[in-house]
Amino acid sequence: MFFNKYKPVCTNRKILFPIRFSVLTKSKAWRISRENGFENYKSKLFSKERLESKFYLFEKLVLPNLKQLFESCDKVDMQVLLITSSLFPPLYAQRLQHLVKDISFITVVAIDENTRLKDPINDFVRAHTRSQKNHCAFATIRMDDDDLLSSSYIRSITKFVTSEFAGNVISFSKGYETYYNFESKKTEHNIRVSWPRIALGLAHINFFDAEEQKFRDNILSIYGVGDHSKIDQHRPLIVDNTRGMFLRMSYVEQDTQGTGIHERIRRKDCSLVNIEEVTENFPIVTNILA
């Protein structure tokens, strides 16, 4: 058990977001890769329709949201690692670089199809912790290229970014999911959900001891802990269900084709809400509404 095992010490604090942006790997972790041969998988992943949808949401929602999160940081350093593919179509690779070129807290790295996702993430963690002269407490947080987090997320997670929480995983389980129609530029379904082990916003806390030159938990990032649906089997899990902390976007061009939200509505394990409730909590969404 990691919780409260260590006394708090004076540290630097960091919040690190590794974000996948159409990463092409030979992993079978995602449906689009399981159901297709590698070349078909590559074709679908880099199709114009899919990438245009991704870029639209990334530019209109995700980047403004990341800037909002960064501006809310107080006495904690936030950094984003944007992971993409070395085989990314050149036109889109240039477009992505152009979008982030003036954003100081975003680093882009392109990996080949044989690279394990956790390798560039672990390198990123080491670069932002081992180089510190002081101890460093840090969180690595799961977030995809079409996800949004509440403006209060940084304030909420920062209270856990201390030495005594090293080894714990934090889940903010209450939030929203919206199905977006790109043709009409309207949302067709909006739901309020509670998922205690949802990947979005899931944070792993760790601590780098500058004197001993080692990490307190041998797992360096949230991606190393394992399947998010079984996360509590691998590390102590702290669940905060007090407020809506995330917005998950669903649409036809994503990996799951947006089937999940329809299943949740059919099973009635969510609450239907209107778009006004969503935009009240996530005003940025108005950027994509006709």
pLDDT digits (tens, 9 = 90+) for 213-228: 999 999 999 999 988 9
Cα–Cα distance measured from residue 252 to residue 224, given in angstroms and rounded to the nearest whole number = 29
Q: Are 164 and 7 in contact (CB under 8 A)?
A: yes
Does residue 2 sit within a domain? no
- CB-based contact 223:123 (threshold 8 Å): no
Residue 3 pLDDT level (bands cut at 50, 70, 90): very low
Task: Give the chain's mean pLDDT.
Answer: 91
Question: Which one-letter amino acid corresponds to residue 73?
Answer: C
Rounded to the nearest 10 degrees, what angle do helices 48-57 and 90-100 cross at? 0
Q: How far is 59 from 196, CA to CA, in rounded Å?
A: 29
Residue 4 lies in a domain: no
- Cα separation, 64 vs 75, in Å, equals 21
Where do we find the tokens 């899990």? 237
Instruction: Quickly state the pLDDT bin for 209 (edges 50, 70, 90).
Output: very high
What is the pLDDT averaged over residues 91-108?
96
Asked if residue 175 belongs to a domain, the reply is yes
- Per the structure, the complete domain to which residue 98 belongs is given by 12-288
The b/e string for 68-80 (b: 16+ C-beta within 10 A; e otherwise) is bbbebbeebbbbb
Instruction: Classify residue 275: in a domain, yes or no.
Output: yes
**Listed range (73-87, 187-201, 243-257, 263-277) with the worst mean pLDDT:** 243-257
Q: Which residue has the higher pLDDT, 57 or 36?
A: 57
Query: Is residue 6 in some structural domain?
Result: no
Report the run of H or E that residue 241 belongs to, with start and end: none
Domain containing residue 255: CATH number: 3.90.550
Q: Is residue 5 part of a domain?
A: no
Residue 181 sits at φ, ψ, to 5 deg, of: -100, 115
| Interatomic CA distance for residues 249 and 179, integer angstroms | 6
Structural domain count of the chain: 1
Closest CA relative to residue 18, chosen from 199, 163, 287, 182: 199
For 49-68, the pLDDT digits (tens) are: 999 999 999 999 999 999 99
The rounded Cα 264 to chain-centroid distance in angstroms is: 21
Mean pLDDT of 133-154: 95
At residue 257 the predicted structure's pLDDT band, cuts being 50, 70 and 90, is: low
What are the E-state strand segments in the chain? Answer: 12-20, 77-85, 106-111, 136-141, 147-149, 169-172, 174-181, 186-194, 203-209, 214-215, 237-240, 246-250, 271-272
Q: Does the residue 1 lie in any domain?
A: no
Two tokens, residue 106? 């975003």
